[in-house]
Chains A and B, each alone.
Chain A
């Protein structure tokens, strides 16, 4: 394909290829299945699959001409030949994506964004809400061996996802807003309870709805703990050019896609 050859040629000539450098790929759907009422898990086969840092994302082309923008999805997992996503079916774009079948082609750009800082730590708290748990899975795996406590929250029992997977990564607390399963309340409350009982994480990582992230920011500030939040914003290009996904970080405009999506909690939601 001409486009790919031009891209590949210019990249070879001008840039030293870093393993995390974003690139445009043409992949093939390996599987695309419903795992919860509004949730699909999609695995895309990709040759030359790049390394991915926890918290990075991809932009996926929608198989509908009238949906011109690609959709940003957090990367759930990767191996040498494929990458997986877990996404909410919500609008025209994600409905069209959910209709893709094994063998269909798809273009995607990845890995995007900086992901979570993953310095060595001995005690880590991970707080996820709803689909915000997706980028936290690679992160939880990254800290295998450390004391990892994971608090994932969902609206109710039927919305619970990836329970078994996260359960293998550390001490897992399932939370539901309505108490239909696990801890009754928001996951940040479950974390605070553990902290009251002596758990002293060096860092809190969070991704989820804005109210959850704001409460993690507040908790981190109260307890003097570092926290990193993975922000969501409506995105255009996903590569840092269009300046549509900006957010205020320490009073300055930053691009969620390129400068984030992970930011120090002390610098956002001011």
Chain B
């Protein structure tokens, strides 16, 4: 049985990729198992300069999910290249650098810098506040998605994945905008904005008041959005949102994803990744497929 998939000419031994922000650079999970079992790893979101992230409580559990407001704490792109990338490269898995910025030129410079390294792909996270547009996110307005993608792509010598936010009116429009801007692939969905409150103290639970919702509770939304995007674009899709089993992963592929990312489940279970990878062939048997690529987009709707 063949679990391999190919995105933009990059071969993945299986379609399971660790999602950005849930897996660090792989080291911590490397104490439990060999992260090379994964098809790929998307790094913690990287900014040009180190970022300390948000103050106060950064995580809250909600029914079948979690809210987080880490705020992109990361060592910065140079420290990543010097200290973390060699570790990721030492693994037998696709290395994806996740790039975050707050201005157009941030994205250009990060993509340029990462293009000088031996990362396999760059995933551009465009749900950060855009000061140029008065606090709107790069990822919200399709015109803005297209603009930042086009700008980044000019400076990017690696396959460029644009990670889309679900907090929009029509994600298919945003995926099309990314495609028009030159994206080689899209990944979706990032977290849904949410909040948790403490009734008795009358205070928000999170230090940042709002946070990003992830975990099994968002899976139905993510599946719907992957399907909508699959019908709107011709570039490959990496699906994510609440995957906890290989069955979940294959459901995303059925809806149109070429590969998937697993995020929150790593936080909930440190051995989730090898379990999910290990379940793949059994699920393929149940689906009656020899190669996982047979499933991509094959939903009968």
Contacts and interface: CB of A to CB of B under 8 A. Distances in A.
A, B bound: yes
Contact of A239 (B31, B44, B61, B264): B31
Interface string A16-38: 00000111100000000000000
Taking residues whose C-beta sits less than 8 angstroms from the other chain, chain B's interface range is: 35 or more
B193 interface: no
B264 A68 contact: yes
Taking residues whose C-beta sits less than 8 angstroms from the other chain, chain A's interface range is: 35 or more
Contacts of A238: 270
B103 interface: no
Interface string B262-301: 0010111111001100110000000000000000000000
Contacts of B21: 242
Contact of A2 (B266, B268, B278): B278
Interface stretch (A6-14, A160-168, A198-206, A221-229): A6-14
A68 B30 CA distance: 22
B33 A235 contact: no
A243 interface: yes
B37 interface: yes
A266 B275 CA distance: 43
A237 interface: yes
B118 interface: no
Contact of B53 (A10, A13, A239, A246): A246
Given A242-B22, A242-B68, A22 B275 contact: no
B266 A237 contact: yes
Interface string B18-55: 00011110011111111001000000100000001100
Contact of A234 (B24, B33, B59): B59
B216 interface: yes
Contacts, number: 117
B274 A10 contact: yes
A68 B66 contact: yes
B278 A69 contact: no
B73 A246 contact: yes
Nearest to A15: B31
Contact of B70 (A15, A67, A240, A243): A243
A209 to B, nearest CB: 15
Given A7-B32, A242-B22, A68 B53 contact: no
Given A7-B271, A14-B34, A236-B68, A67 B28 contact: no
B168 to A, nearest CB: 25
B64 A11 contact: no
A123 interface: no
A237 B32 contact: no
A221 to B, nearest CB: 24
A244 B33 contact: no
Contact of B267 (A67, A93, A242): A242
A192 to B, nearest CB: 31
A234 B52 contact: no
Nearest to A238: B270
A189 to B, nearest CB: 27
A61 B37 CA distance: 23
A241 B73 contact: no
A238 B269 CA distance: 10
Contacts of A258: 28
Contacts of B139: none
Interface of A: 2-4, 6-7, 10-11, 13-15, 21-24, 61, 65-70, 93, 107, 109, 234-246, 253, 258
22 contacts: A2-B278, A4-B271, A6-B37, A6-B275, A7-B33, A7-B274, A15-B31, A22-B31, A67-B61, A68-B215, A69-B61, A93-B61, A234-B60, A236-B68, A237-B22, A237-B268, A240-B24, A242-B21, A242-B22, A242-B70, A245-B59, A253-B53
Given A22-B31, A109-B270, 7 more contacts: A3-B278, A7-B271, A10-B33, A69-B61, A238-B270, A241-B24, A246-B53
